[in-house]
Amino acid sequence: MSKFMIAVFVAAALSGGNAASGERFKLAVVVKIGGIPWFNALEEGIRKEAPKQNVDAWQVGPTSADPALQVRAIEDLIARNVDVIGVVPNDLQVLEPVLKRARDAGIKVIVHEGPDQVNKDWDFELVSVDHYAVETIKAFADLLGRKGKYAVFVGSLTVPLHNAWADIAIQYQKEHYPELELVADRFGVAESIDDTMRTTAELIAKHPDLRGILSIGGSQGPIGAGRAVQQAGKKDEIAVFGIFSPGQGERLVKSGAIKGGFTWNPMVAGEVFVRLARLIVDDVPIVDGITIDGLGKAAVDPEKRVIIGQKLESLDIDNIDRLVQLGL
Residue-range domain boundaries for the chain: 25-126+265-311, 129-263
> Which fold does the domain 25-126+265-311 belong to in CATH?
Rossmann fold (3.40.50)
pLDDT digits (tens, 9 = 90+) for 100-115: 999 999 999 999 999 9
Q: What 3-state class would DSSP assign to 27?
A: strand
Q: Is the pLDDT of residue 311 over 90?
A: no
The Cα–Cα gap between 10 and 24 comes to 13
Please, are residues 279 and 295 in contact by the beta-carbon 8 Å criterion?
no
Domain 129-263 has CATH 3.40.50.2300: yes
What is the average per-residue pLDDT within 309-314? 90
pLDDT class for 29, splitting at 50, 70, 90? very high
Q: What is the DSSP letter of 20?
A: P
pLDDT class for 13, splitting at 50, 70, 90? very low
- Summary mean pLDDT of the chain: 93
Q: What percent of the chain has pLDDT over 70?
A: 94
What is the average per-residue pLDDT within 55-69? 96
Q: Is the pLDDT of residue 37 over 70?
A: yes
Would the CATH topology of 25-126+265-311 be identical to that of 129-263? yes
pLDDT at residue 16 in the model: 38
The Cα–Cα gap between 308 and 198 comes to 35
Q: Is the pLDDT of residue 165 over 50?
A: yes
pLDDT class for 2, splitting at 50, 70, 90? very low
Please, are residues 248 and 275 in contact by the beta-carbon 8 Å criterion?
no
